[in-house]
Amino acid sequence: MRTMQYFAYVLDHKLAIAASAFVLFIFYRIYTYLTHPLRSFPGPFFCRLTNLPYSTWFFSGRRDFYILSLHERYGPVIRIAPNELSFNTANSWKDIYGFRPDHRPFIKSEFYEGAASYDNKVSGVGTVRDPAKHAKMRKYLSYGFSAKALAEQEVLVVENVELLIRQMRERGVRDGEVMDSEHWLRMATLDIMGDLAFGKSFDALKNGGQHPSVRFMHEAIRQMKVIDTMRRFPYAGKLFALFFARTLYKLLQGNRMHEQFSLQTVRDRLANPDPRPDILTHLQHSYDPDLPFASDIQLAAYAAEFLHAGADTSSTTINTVLNFVLRSPSLYMRLTTEIRTAFLTYASINNQQASKLPLLRSVILEAMRIYPPTPLGLPRLVPEGGDSVDGFWIVGGVTVSTNAVAASLSPKNFPDPYTFKPERWDKEGKEKGMDILNASNPFSLGARGCLGQNLAWMEMNLIICMIFWSFDLELVNTEMDLHRDSKMDSLWEKPPLFVRITERQ
């Protein structure tokens, strides 16, 4: 009887109860606003109260440009969420991601839990949060990315780039087709990373389109904003999972299908060993089903992560080089001359010599600055007890990051930040000291810095040299603005870049 009376009371007073709950929520938010340890850090008012602005930016596809604008308004450190700070300085890169004696490491935040694989059973070397597990994984994987391994892998990279050159010659030169370099460069780097990470090409260049598994991978990347938002709003996330289970299943289905493809490919390779000099060969030599970081599922997670991390980022930088170099006739002539003088024949192009070309290196560094291949700030947790970042004391448990876009496009770090100036990176530019070069860290730094950065440099060196040696190029859609017309999730969603190709004169 009392239960019935209670429910009757609730129904009769539901409006008053709802209003009371809302008032209590507002008072709670005001209390946390006034007492939160981050209350002294600047930022938009609503970012201090709720994660809603951040999630809105994420879904808009322009998150990092919003954060850039906030840094321009508020300064080097801003509060972008109730318990999260963003930095844009060179010192913050070192303090958050680098090694500091007598300081505990800033471990990866819960954001990376959304990237775990196979029903959260395993994580890749780039997403595992435990520093001890990461150290074991990195040691296990390191030989596959050593200088010796890299030299052996060059022949596989060249084979795929030669297929790209053939497609450019057949479609662009013979058929007169204006080619979308963004599309074809992405196909090339996908084939390269498929060849190295899975032991077989995806044949994207041959077919002119993505392998279904790659499409699944991109769907998995897009789901990160959904998972991040569900984590930031746990109660709403649970309701979403409850009432929209089918929608959530569809969002996650692409990731599951990519995982199944990765696991089956790795198992096929383990059952039929191949001595070809790819990354998987080095891993299968150390395969041990009893070791958690060397099981077949774990190897599949590694391979999928290499594909995800290595393909899109390299093609993004090469595409950025084309975009800006082709807009400057003088720079185009200088780079072409450097490459064609260094290599008298097409067959003589090699990574060792290409890596010594000063203008090529400066052009690539400037491309990674002006359009960072990984745009987002990589979130870390301040260790228990608190620590300082760029002179600011922050309590433990706060999420911090240095936003790559905000740091690289800040006029305080790089005068004329939207102007493509490779000379920033040459000897004279460094001596002038106008630019804070350490504010650009496209491969991150420290113990969690990119394991495959030398492989990425080899890809970029070879592809750029082989293209500029072989062809004369002309940008067609000059009205396209790479910053204005791009969107991003965890990586960039880039507009087409149309190029007219003719045989070199």
Reading the chain (505 residues) residue by residue, the pLDDT tens digits are 566 665 555 555 556 655 555 555 555 556 565 678 999 999 999 999 999 999 999 999 999 999 999 999 999 999 999 999 999 999 999 999 999 999 999 999 999 886 666 666 788 888 899 999 999 889 888 888 988 999 999 999 999 999 999 999 999 999 889 999 999 999 999 999 999 998 888 899 998 887 777 777 777 777 788 888 888 998 888 887 777 777 777 767 777 888 888 889 888 888 887 788 888 888 777 666 666 667 888 888 888 888 888 889 999 999 999 999 999 999 999 999 999 999 999 999 999 999 999 999 999 999 999 999 999 999 999 999 999 999 999 999 999 999 999 999 999 999 999 999 999 999 888 888 899 999 999 999 999 999 999 999 999 999 999 999 999 999 999 999 999 999 998 889 999 999 999 999 8
Rounded to whole angstroms, the Cα distance separating 301 from 292 reads 12
Binding residues: 450
Amino acid making up residue 46: F
Residue 174's alpha-carbon distances to 170, 322, 394, 497, in angstroms, are 5, 21, 61, 20
Beta strands 399-402 and 84-87: pairing type? Answer: parallel
Gyration radius (Cα) of the chain, Å: 25
CB 269 within 8 A of CB 283: no
Residue 222's alpha-carbon distances to 3, 230, 291, 315, 384, in angstroms, are 47, 14, 31, 18, 32
Q: State which H helix or E strand residue 77 sits in.
A: strand 77-81
Spell out the alpha helix ranges (H) of 168-244: 181-197, 204-207, 212-222, 224-232, 234-243
CA 30 remoteness from chain centre: 36
CB 262 within 8 A of CB 270: no
What pLDDT, on the 0 to 100 scale, is given for residue 356? 98
Residue 416's alpha-carbon distances to 75, 136, 259, 434, in angstroms, are 18, 43, 43, 11
The model's pTM is 0.92
What pLDDT, on the 0 to 100 scale, is given for residue 151? 94
Spell out the alpha helix ranges (H) of 75-146: 90-97, 131-141
Residue 301: phi and psi, rounded to 5, are: -65, -40
What pLDDT, on the 0 to 100 scale, is given for residue 288? 62
CB 128 within 8 A of CB 120: no
Reading the block at residue 61, the tokens are 């596809």
What pLDDT, on the 0 to 100 scale, is given for residue 24? 58
Binding residues for heme: 450
Rounded to whole angstroms, the Cα distance separating 421 from 440 reads 14
Rounded to whole angstroms, the Cα distance separating 20 from 14 reads 10
What pLDDT, on the 0 to 100 scale, is given for residue 204? 92
CB 389 within 8 A of CB 98: no
* Four-residue CA torsion sign, 320, 322, 325, 329: negative
CB 141 within 8 A of CB 283: yes
Helix (H, G, I), strand (E, B) or coil at 493: strand
CB 297 within 8 A of CB 121: yes
CA atoms within 13 A on the CB side of 198: 27
